[in-house]
Chain A
């Protein structure tokens, strides 16, 4: 599913070069549920962005579902993100002035077929929020907002869900519920990669990849 081959990433900050990733080799199989952990500044966010096709590696190869994506242009990457990847963020990133249902529809605007409304409703139902479809994000509790975001990630039937600190803004009880939802989705066959530094969250996954100083410390 995800094949990372000697991935490096160099940032230029003025004259100095920052080596964010120093040769990452890693394989995540289809249907796995994996946590990526590491201290801040370890490069886990950079890795996350590369896996999510939001950023390109400086060198190395990255195959997603067998497609070499490290050489694709911006438009192709946008298509890959739309079709294959669902994103879940720490701060939900919902559009505040539209309803839950309209939020879930957003990825379908940029790709996807069939009745948008219907597919969005189904996605909302699968996260147990069908009754909140007409509510705006500000009218929903944090856990509910994250569920809407998860529905949005699911709506285009992605093969991979990438979650960046998905429980970072939630209390423990709600975090547990969200993690159970992820687990349930994983059991339906979706590959899930989540970034976290909470050990108890990482405990929900099958293995934990530890990153330190831009290198993999442990593959779990």
Chain B
């Protein structure tokens, strides 16, 4: 019996029981669709988060005031603590050998007005090197310059979304805005960043010196200037951990923290966070895959069940085939092919359904405001389809062997 005959017979049999075939396929179909869509979604999210981390800047360390135990999230949250000062940043810059650049940041809640638009936003006071530490690129105009910084210039660089809110399609560069009532000239607009840490897309940036002089007057002591964050770039990937340690030591010393006391600041190594997030997504992918794998198993049991029913139903056919010359191998091949074709079709339809689900998920997420695109990865598809054929063959073995072992005389007498 040739392979082609097996396929032709299997297809004919499956087509003659359309409803039953489809119901049987459903298990595998749902399993494969689940594996594909879930794993692809987790992967897409992982890629997105990874890109967001990368867009934050290379070898980045963030220092924020307050103990880590009292913090809410990473960035974006205005800390109410005021334990960090501009002088801390300067001390780090001059005393930590593993550090390349130090960018102190103030954060102030402000009202910003342009023409008729009036929005609340966070205004960051930054140094010119903030652009390099945090990997910002101006889309239009330029970033804050040394000159602006030294001269406490009333200039502002807008985040991509903020610029759109204030000016729409119009180019904001050269226009003026009012921040907390004071007039600023827009000198640049930043390129949009990732989604996970995109609060900067909605912020305004002004020179730190200007910010300290005009916005945070209430919080400035006579000796030291309170700031809300320090972004630090380590010299290299290898020195990030050393830099983290140096920063902690310098700050503990400056803040007079005794050895048994907790830090009153938090140092976050973004590379570390990124790695942990990566690991977590890896685990997530595995768990999703395993859960979806269980539905493949259930699908396999469904196929075995139906194949057993089919063998019983077709006992006379098996007897007849044996009588006219089919060998055991011919019969077992026929039933194995049937279950493999069944699960392969289920798998193939599952790929289509999985792709469809993925597109829907992307559309829903995008609708919620996160541009999100997931693609079917070839390896997941290959794995899912391979597993589904494997499941089909495994669950077909027992029914096929049972069919092959039937005694033709008894099979022909079967009612």
Interface residues, chain A, CB within 8 Å of chain B? Answer: 49, 52, 54-55, 74-75, 78-79, 81-83, 87, 89, 93, 95, 97-98, 106-107, 109-111, 152, 156
Contacts and interface: CB of A to CB of B under 8 A. Distances in A.
The 6 closest A-B pairs by CB, nearest first: A82-B325, A110-B325, A107-B324, A97-B16, A93-B320, A78-B327
Contacts, number: 56
A109 B16 contact: no
Given A110-B1, A110-B330, A78 B412 contact: no
B412 A93 contact: yes
Contact of A54 (B5, B12, B317, B408): B408
Contact of A74 (B12, B324, B327): B327
A110 B327 contact: yes
A205 to B, nearest CB: 22
Given A49-B409, A54-B409, A89-B412, A111 B320 contact: no
Contacts of A54: 323, 408-409
A9 B408 CA distance: 17
Q: Is the interface of B mostly helix, strand, loop or mixed?
A: helix
Given A55-B409, A75-B327, A93-B316, A106 B321 contact: yes
B322 interface: yes
B326 A110 contact: yes
B324 A110 contact: yes
A81 B320 contact: no
B320 to A, nearest CB: 5
Nearest to A84: B325
Nearest to A110: B325
Contacts of A98: 12
Interface string B404-415: 000011001000
A180 to B, nearest CB: 24
B320 A106 contact: yes
Interface string B324-355: 11111010000000000000000000000000
B328 to A, nearest CB: 7
Contact of A110 (B16, B321, B412): B321
A96 to B, nearest CB: 9
A124 to B, nearest CB: 16
Given A49-B409, A54-B408, A111 B325 contact: yes
Given A78-B327, A79-B325, A82-B325, 7 more contacts: A54-B323, A54-B408, A78-B325, A81-B324, A109-B5, A109-B326, A111-B325
Nearest to A102: B12
B323 A81 contact: yes
28 contacts: A52-B323, A54-B323, A54-B408, A78-B327, A79-B327, A81-B324, A81-B325, A82-B324, A82-B325, A83-B325, A87-B324, A93-B316, A93-B323, A93-B412, A97-B12, A98-B12, A106-B321, A107-B325, A109-B1, A109-B5, A109-B9, A109-B326, A109-B330, A110-B324, A110-B327, A110-B330, A152-B324, A156-B325
A52 B12 CA distance: 29
B78 to A, nearest CB: 74
B17 to A, nearest CB: 9
Nearest to B408: A54
A55 B413 CA distance: 14
A95 B323 contact: no
A57 B5 CA distance: 33
Nearest to A76: B327
A138 to B, nearest CB: 12
A85 B411 CA distance: 18
Contacts of B327: 74-75, 78-79, 110
B322 A78 contact: yes
Contacts of A97: 12-13, 16
Nearest to A112: B325
B406 to A, nearest CB: 12
A88 to B, nearest CB: 11
Interface centre among B323, B327, B328, B408 (most CB of A within 10 A): B323
A106 B13 CA distance: 14
A74 B325 contact: no
A87 B319 CA distance: 12
Nearest to A97: B16
Nearest to A164: B412
A156 B409 CA distance: 21
Contacts of A111: 325
A106 B8 CA distance: 12
Nearest to B325: A82
Interface string B5-34: 100010011001000000000000000000
B9 to A, nearest CB: 8
Interface centre among A75, A82, A109 (most CB of B within 10 A): A109
A49 B408 CA distance: 10
A40 B212 CA distance: 113
Contacts of A110: 1, 321, 324-327, 330
Contact of B320 (A75, A82, A83, A95): A95
A114 B379 CA distance: 44
Contacts of B12: 97-98
Interface in B82-108: none
Contacts of A52: 323
Nearest to B2: A109
Contacts of B317: 95
Contacts of B16: 97
Interface centre among A55, A74, A78 (most CB of B within 10 A): A78
